[in-house]
Amino acid sequence: MYRKIIVAIALGGIEKGEKILRKAASLLDDGGEIIALNVIEDVPSYVAIELPANMVEDVMKDSREQLQALLAAAGVAATVEIGNGPPAKAIISAAESHGADLIIVASHVPDFSNYFIGATADRVVRHAKCSVLVDRQKV
């Protein structure tokens, strides 16, 4: 069905990642590619000045290791990519740069601040140039 799928995984909700990775694998064409993407938000400069110099590199390394462990647990072959910046923007940018034809993103059951779908998922749906599958997650 799809030849290149971006699977956005928030490490704070890694238990949801296994489910959406398996969903991506079931939707992938033979010879297609899954890219497991985690986005690390930028730290404001007034906060970064107080942090150890290598903290960002350590967080990126840890994120990569967690995604690789998740892929192994799910039994899904994928390329691991770590992005940075605002999550929705980084997800859309990754999809465009890889020529993805599907983005899969999990969304929690919303509260009043983002009633229909989660804030990141909402932005991805509105601005992506490819198909987006929002996997609703129960809290």
Q: List the CATH number of the domain containing 92.
A: 3.40.50.620
The residue segments making up the domain with residue 129 are 2-137
Task: Judge whether residue 109 has pLDDT over 60.
Answer: no
Task: Judge whether residue 51 has pLDDT over 90.
Answer: no
User: 131-137 and 28-40 as β-strands: parallel, antiparallel, unpaired?
Assistant: unpaired
Task: Judge whether residue 113 has pLDDT over 60.
Answer: no
Q: How many domains does the chain have?
A: 1
Which two structure tokens, joined as six digits, stand for 62?
């840890």
Confidence grade of residue 23 (pLDDT, cut at 50, 70, 90): very high
Q: Which residues, including other chains, have CB under 8 Å from residue 111's CB and lie 6 or more apart? A: none
User: pTM for this structure?
Assistant: 0.87
78 vs 42, more confident: 78
Quick one: pLDDT at residue 117? 52
Give the CA distances from residue 37 to residues 16, 64, 84, 122, in Å, rounded to whole numbers and listed in that order.
Answer: 13, 9, 10, 17
Q: Per DSSP, what are the bridge partners of residue 103? A: 6, 132
Pairwise CA distance, residues 85 & 69, whole Å: 23
